[in-house]
Structure formats: structure tokens, C-alpha cells
Amino acid sequence: MQLSGFTDEAGQGLATQIKATQALGWKHLSARSIDGQNIHDLSEDDFNAAADQLDSAGIQVTEFGSLIGSWSKPIESDFAITLAEIERAIPRMQRLGTKLIRVMSYAQQPWGEDQFEAERFRRLREIVARFADAGLQTVHENCMNWGGFSAEHTLRLIEEVPGLKLVFDTGNPVFQRDRSKSAPYPWQDALGFYQAVKAHVVHVHIKDCLNPPEGSDEPERYTFPGEGQCRLAEILAALQADGYAGAYAIEPHVATVFHATDGEAIDEEQCYSSYVDYGRAFEQQLVNTRSI
């Protein structure tokens, strides 16, 4: 079983990310950002230095956590930005020997407004085709994007975009309303989401959290694995029963939220220790699941 994680949550520098991976005894990491820049936005020199550093440490990259079509990009954004990210990502994935690239389906429009579905599908078809031509697999994450509105929305993407596969994030449904249901839109059920889309899942992100309190402006609260409302033990048992053979990548958000607002103070020591502790806690979750 391959275990990995978004090591930029352990530290911004690659040396710290490698150290956290080795502390867990793991041989893989999920590459997202180094020194605050996404891996497809690094300069050529910085990327090459990072790739050499990973080679020297014997660490492989499980997935390329791109910003392509991310929650930070509205569907009206210039598609040239996406195309440039693709052109930079492909040779870097080939250099690292990485086959999976995480993408999204662009930011959610306010509910009730035009969601520009046709344009989302058009863009994703081209994104998937370009990576497929290079022998690489595009996987869509259920996050704060169009596909994250519900399992039904994700399945519509699969229907509309040939060749697209899924990375299932266990925690993201917990803080999102199910837009396939009627108002007042219940919170999504993570286990139900997985069961609906499981035929297309080739990668899994491990995250857990608690629903935002009803009637408040407070955000969701992230927890250690198994301590939130994503029904992690049940999801892991279902994955095991379904014969899932892909990797698991932790994305704790406990000490570091990747999309935190600029200017937030970061306790580097806490980020590192909480990431390692989270990884160990998840390993125990896997042990517990196998013993059920």
C-alpha cells in the first residue's frame, strides 16, 4: 500500500517536506508547492534543483497537485492560464515519473447563477486530452469547484469528459451542501459520495473535519483522521471491500490550511509535528480498519 501526503503542510521548504516523509518511513509525497509556489510555477532552475533533491533522497512523487481549474479560478478566467500550466506540468511530471495530475472544475459560481457548465466541460475535455496525449492521467478532486456540488455533479463530469478519473477527498463533502438536493440543501455525506462515484476513483485524499456550525459564519474545523464527520473508518472499510489498490495521500489541514488567507501566522514547528502525527494516526486507522 502506497502512503503519501501533501508535504507542503509540513513545511514550505523541500528539505522539511522530505524530512517529514522520511520521519514517517514513507517513500512518496504528493507535490503541490515548494517555498510557496506550486510545482508547475517554479522556475526551471528551482524545479530541476527540487527534482534532483528528491532523487537524492529516494523520494518519489505520487501525484502532481496542480492549480489547474482550481477553486481559486473562476470559469471566466483566461483559458490561456490553464494551457500554460499544462505545458509546464507535462515535462515536469515526465521528469519526476509521476502519472497522476490533480485538477478541478473551476470555482463554484454563487448558487442560482449561471454555472457555465458547457464551458467547464469544454475546458476539461481539452485538459484531459493534452495530458492523455503525453501518457498522463488527469484526476478530478471533489473540492470547492463545480464537480464538488454533489456526487451527481461529479458523475456528470465523468459522462461529459472522456478519460477523466477521480481523486476522492474524504473530508471535502463534510463542509459542502449537496446541490443535487432541494433547499435548504443538506450537508453532503462523504460515505454516500464515495459509494456513488467509486467506480471512477483511482486516488484518495485523506482529510477529516466537522460541519460548520448551523446558523454561524464559522468555517469547518479540521480534525485528526477519524475524529470528524467524514465517516473515515466506514470509507476505509468500503475501499478495502471494493479492492481499492491506489495510494492514500494525507491532506491534514490541522495546522496548515493550504488556502489560508495571506498574512496568517504560521508556526513551522507545529506544522511539521502535526503533519507527522497525522500520518501516524492515519496509519493506525488503516490497521484498525483491517482488523474489523
Give 40's pLDDT tier (boundaries 50, 70, 90).
very high
Alpha carbon 90 to its chain centroid, in Å, reads 18
Task: Count the Cβ atoms, other than its own, within 10 Å of residue 67.
Answer: 21
Identify the burial level of 158 via C-beta atoms within 10 angstroms of its C-beta, where 0-12 means exposed, 13-18 middle and 19 or more buried. middle
| Residue 216, pLDDT score | 78
Q: What is the pLDDT of residue 270?
A: 93
State yes or no: pLDDT of 116 exceeds 80.
Answer: yes
Lowest mean pLDDT among 52-61, 133-142, 188-197, 215-224: 215-224
- For the cut 70, the answer to whether the pLDDT of residue 172 exceeds it is yes
Sequence spans of domains, the chain: 3-291
The Cβ of residue 136 has, within 10 Å, a number of other Cβ atoms equal to 19
Is 3-291 in CATH node 3.90.170.10? no
Instruction: Give the separation between CA 279 and CA 24, rounded to whole angstroms.
Output: 7
Pick from 108, 152, 169, 157: nearest CA to 128: 157
Which stretch of DSSP H or E encloses residue 249? strand 248-250
According to the 3-state scheme, what is the secondary structure of 97-158? CCCEEEECCCECCCCCCCCCHHHHHHHHHHHHHHHHHCCCEEEEECCCEHHHHCHHHHHHHH
The Cα–Cα gap between 150 and 196 comes to 10
C-alpha distances (whole Å) from 26 to each of 4, 207, 208, 261, 270 are: 7, 18, 21, 30, 20
pLDDT at 208 over 70: yes
Judging by DSSP bridges, how do beta strands 33-34 and 37-38 pair with one another?
A: antiparallel
Cα–Cα distance between 59 and 23 in angstroms, integer? 12
**pLDDT value for 232:** 98
* pLDDT score at 1: 87
- Grid coordinates representing 279 are 500520518
Helices 79-96, 117-133: inter-axial angle, 10-degree rounding: 30
- Going by the DSSP 8-state scheme, the letter that residue 162 receives in this structure is T
- Cis peptide leading into residue 213 (ω within 30°): no
Task: Kindly state the cell numbers that stand for 281.
Answer: 494516526
Q: What is d(CA 73, CA 108) in angstroms, rounded to the nearest whole number? A: 9
User: Where is average pLDDT lowest: 69-73, 86-90, 188-192, 264-268?
Assistant: 264-268
Is the per-residue pLDDT at 265 higher than 80? Answer: no
